[in-house]
Structure 1
Amino acid sequence: MAKDVKKRPNGRWEARLRRNGNYLGAKVFDTRKEAEAWAQMMLAQHTDGVDLRRANRSVKDYVEEFHTYREQYTNAQSATRKTDRNMFKRIPGWFLELKVGKVETRHIEKVLFDDAKENPGRTTDSITRGWTTLSAFFKYLVKQKVIVRNPATGADKPKGRLVEEVIPWMGPEIFERYAVWKGLNQEMADVALVTYFLALRWGEVRALSVKDVRIKNFEEVYVWRSWSEGEQIKDTKTEDRRWVPVMEDIRPILQKLAEGRADGELLFAGLTRAKFKWRLKWKETAQGKVIHSLRHGGITTWVEAGVLAPVAMRWSGHKKSKTFDRYTHLVGNRVNRTAIDQLNQFAREQRRSL
């Protein structure tokens, strides 16, 4: 491999790289020193097995290759791979057109900050997940000897902002929503309440059978499989089977649903997101929240009621406390607000006694 550094007519310096007479790449600099340094760095990279010609391909050229690699050669779960694909759908065209060898940390940061700006309700964890996808993508390219370093490493990530619309229903709020939904469709209103008080993922709700709920006189529900739309029934997300206690608010609903039915029947036969949202007029009645807010609110209710975190984690199917904490951050906010109300009330009483 050879380098060629020459001064251009405009006074700038151009560094060119060739291998066996074939052109590999070039870059222009203000000084000869900068051109020499870049050429030397490229030479060093090439000796490590990096093919500069492959680095001249655009980001979009490697996206599908990356997804295939994740599917066939890694242990990434299907939910993770689906999230990766959705993330690349949100990435702007200008980034996808960049040559992978020229992507810098600032480009990664711009994608993340622009995404957060366009979606002000996105949480910090969601933003971090976007960074994780990009980091995994460029880590793959490093492993394949396309580039030398991962530009996502060390990138600053914007802080997510918790807005009112993404806060789950808490306390009596879920019963207020249930009353509204019942007036539209009883069946789907029951789905919502069961999902909330069992804190289930959507796929877990769809996979529930009559046998899973007809246990110990409806005191517990056995959660052991998931059925995402468009896929076959499989294990839960964490591949962990669990028992979830049945609160008295949903016991009559489960008893009625299971009455006179065979054990193997699905509890909510034919349930889909589209049907659920359409019958409950979700856009008009859900106050800007998403279906997952039902699970979020259920877990928060457990903790707010005093259930110890290890127990609540076992019920919810979380293996990592860091993941579980994302669902309970609002409890502290509620406690703080209650304490402030008490302090204000105390101050008012003190003023009245003067």
Structure 2
Amino acid sequence: MIEMTPSGRFRARLKSGRQFVASRTFDTKREASDWLARERAALAGGVDPRTGRRLMRALLEEWLAIREFTVAAKTYRTDQALQRLVPTSLQAMQVSAVSEREVARSFEALIQHGLSERSVVRYRASLSSFFAWCVREKIIVRNPVTGTKVPRSSEEPTEMRPWTEAELEAAYERWHEHDPHLADVLLVLGWTGMRWGEARAVLVEDVVEVPTAGLLVRRSHTEGGTVKATKGRRGRRVPVADRILPIIRRLIVSKEPTDLLLTTTGGARLHRTAVLRTVKWDRTGGGRRIHDLRHTAACLWLARGVDPGTVQAWMGHESIATTNRYLHFLGTSADQAGLERLNDPSRGPRHGPARAAPRPGVRGG
């Protein structure tokens, strides 16, 4: 039943037979009717609305206790962040009372507090998993996250700034002045497109020269983490061009197959901060990030005529759309052809056919 309250709002009361089950108050009669219809359907399907009165905070703890043993460690750490990121007011609500409005507001609050759009997207994924579990456990009827979107951040995305081949060689000479060994390591990254974590985990046994020279990229080791599968959980083979093949051969001298291929001069595992400090990156990096070495490899391959499908495989991109970003950055063959026409001095300005001068004694009509 639905009744109007003295304040002018509408209270919907749900009953099962003669037993009172739940009630909620709404601003409009339509909202009250919709809620009552959903709750009746849920009750008929085996969902007791009274279970939805449990606080979100308590259910989060229960869900995380299950997640710890059912998902990967990295996913679990991301899920744990919900206890810190979900607003206190939201955690204090009954889980059945959480609406799309509250969920959307939590996204906006996180962005306003400086969280990146990508981090909020991960937060949304964990929050959706939590509410999906509540639906499966028949605690609530529907997932309030599915109808929401993360608002776009006003911050400008970080642009890639790859080196050209000539710029990479010039940077290599600068790095070489500070540490010849690390200069070789960085040049290898610029020609193979390995991510930093992948470079830290590649082994001597991953070097192959038959039928062609290449590196098998099968694992990653992020700093502060453990060795795991590569991004996308698929290994790949990347080429070793003649420019860096002598370097690779030099790096494997006197090493065992299970030794790390890319290390510091003393043979220790690479650490980003130490490497950047040693090669004076703030002066030699040209304002770029070390990840731009990966972008450099993709652009270098494409500029030398490697087809995008092959570049996609070498880079480990799941979608060709990701690889196409580099094509947009480099420009198309049509762009090149057009530029050649613009720069061709024989193609001067054209003003249309010149009008013949009138002959003496002939007057224009």
Query: Same fold, TM exceeding 0.5?
Result: yes
Alignment correspondent of 1:195 = 189
Alignment correspondent of 1:350 = 348
Alignment correspondent of 1:302 = 301
The alignment partner of 1:28 has SS state of strand
* 1:343 Cα offset (Å): 5.4
Note if 1:145 corresponds to 2:138: yes
Deviations 1:128-150 (A, max 9, x none): 66654443343233222232222
Alignment equivalent of 2:96, drawn from 78, 96, 101 = 101
Rounded to whole Å, the distance in 2 between the matches of 1:338 and 1:127 is: 40
The alignment partner of 1:72 has SS state of coil
- Aligned-residue CA RMSD in angstroms? 4.5
Letter in 1 for 2:309: P
Identical-pair percentage:
29
| Length-normalised TM-score, structure 2 | 0.70
Rounded to whole Å, the distance in 2 between the matches of 1:256 and 1:233 is: 25
* 1:329 Cα offset (Å): 0.8
Q: Which moved more, 1:77-86 or 1:8-17?
A: 77-86
Alignment equivalent of 2:9, drawn from 1, 12, 23 = 12
Map 1:13-92 to 2 at 5 A.
Answer: 13-17=10-14, 25-30=22-27, 34-57=31-54, 59-63=56-60, 65-67=62-64, 69-70=66-67, 72-73=69-70
Rounded to whole Å, the distance in 1 between the matches of 2:279 and 2:86 is: 32
Give the conservation status (yes or no) of the 8 Å contact 1:300–1:327.
Answer: no
Higher helix share: 1
Letter in 1 for 2:251: L
Alignment equivalent of 2:214, drawn from 217, 220, 236 = 220
Rounded to whole Å, the distance in 2 between the matches of 1:272 and 1:58 is: 44
Map 1:239-258 to 2 at 5 A.
Answer: 239-258=233-252
Q: Sort the Cα spacing of 1:192 and 1:164 in 2 relative to 1 into closer, same or farther, 3 A.
A: farther
Alignment correspondent of 2:324 = 328
Q: Sort the Cα spacing of 1:35 and 1:104 in 2 relative to 1 into closer, same or farther, 3 A.
A: closer
| Length-normalised TM-score, structure 1 | 0.72
Give the conservation status (yes or no) of the 8 Å contact 2:311–2:323.
Answer: no
User: Which consecutive residues of structure 1, in runs of 5 or more, have no partner in the other structure?
Assistant: none
* 1:270 Cα offset (Å): 2.1
User: Which consecutive residues of structure 2, in runs of 5 or more, have no partner in the other structure?
Assistant: 353-365
The alignment partner of 1:351 has SS state of coil
Rounded to whole Å, the distance in 2 between the matches of 1:205 and 1:315 is: 14
Structure having the higher Rg:
2
The alignment partner of 2:329 has SS state of helix
* 1:220 Cα offset (Å): 1.8
The alignment partner of 1:249 has SS state of coil
Alignment correspondent of 1:171 = 164
The count of corresponding residues between Structure 1 and Structure 2 is: 344
